[in-house]
Amino acid sequence: MSEQYIFNRNELPYGPSPMVHKTIRRIKAGQLTQYTHGYNNSVLVDFLSTKYDLPKEQIIVEHGAQNILKLVFDCLPVNTRGVLTSTHHYSFYDKYTEHKKIKLYTFPLIKTEKSFVFDVHEIKERYKEYEPGCVLITSPNNWTGNSISSSDFEELLASFNP
């Protein structure tokens, strides 16, 4: 029987890079996030807060995107009208929304000769049609590697109900 790994869960079958070991040895215990000392004691939260001029309370540090997505789905109201995302998306969206009994709606990506493109007009139309409680726009997209431009993203944000 061959071993199976689920790479989207941050499994690392070959062990960490030697650089990880070197970095870990330099970290002092007080610099690590410790549940007993509150959330915002990580040096990464301080660094990101300073670098991007954001309040520490608006920064979430996790050990993988899946945990952040789970947090988002768990925070949706019980009566949410669903989640909207692209047809090519992270398989976790299907599995976890099904588990939570949340409807998953999709919008298509436009396939060009060399890539996939977000169709802003189509996303806005699907948003109006389904009125979802959450819109997931993965950029870069895990499946396709495509990204959405800042101007297209801002246009979408302006059209969504805050």
DSSP secondary structure, the chain, as one string:
------GGGT--TT---HHHHHHHHHS-GGGS--GGG-STT-HHHHHHHHHHT--GGG----SSHHHHHHHHHHHS-TT---EEEESS--HHHHHHHHHTT--EEEEPEEE-SS-EEE-HHHHHHHHHHH--SEEE--SS-TTT-----HHHHHHHHHHS--
Q: What is the pLDDT of residue 1?
A: 45
Is 32 among the domain residues?
yes
Is 142 among the domain residues?
yes
Is the pTM for the entire model greater than 0.75?
no
Indicate if the pLDDT at residue 43 is higher than 80.
no
Is 73 among the domain residues?
yes
For residues 43 and 107, membership in a common domain is answered with no
Indicate if the pLDDT at residue 38 is higher than 80.
no
Residue ranges making up the domain that contains 47: 7-58
For residues 78 and 139, membership in a common domain is answered with yes
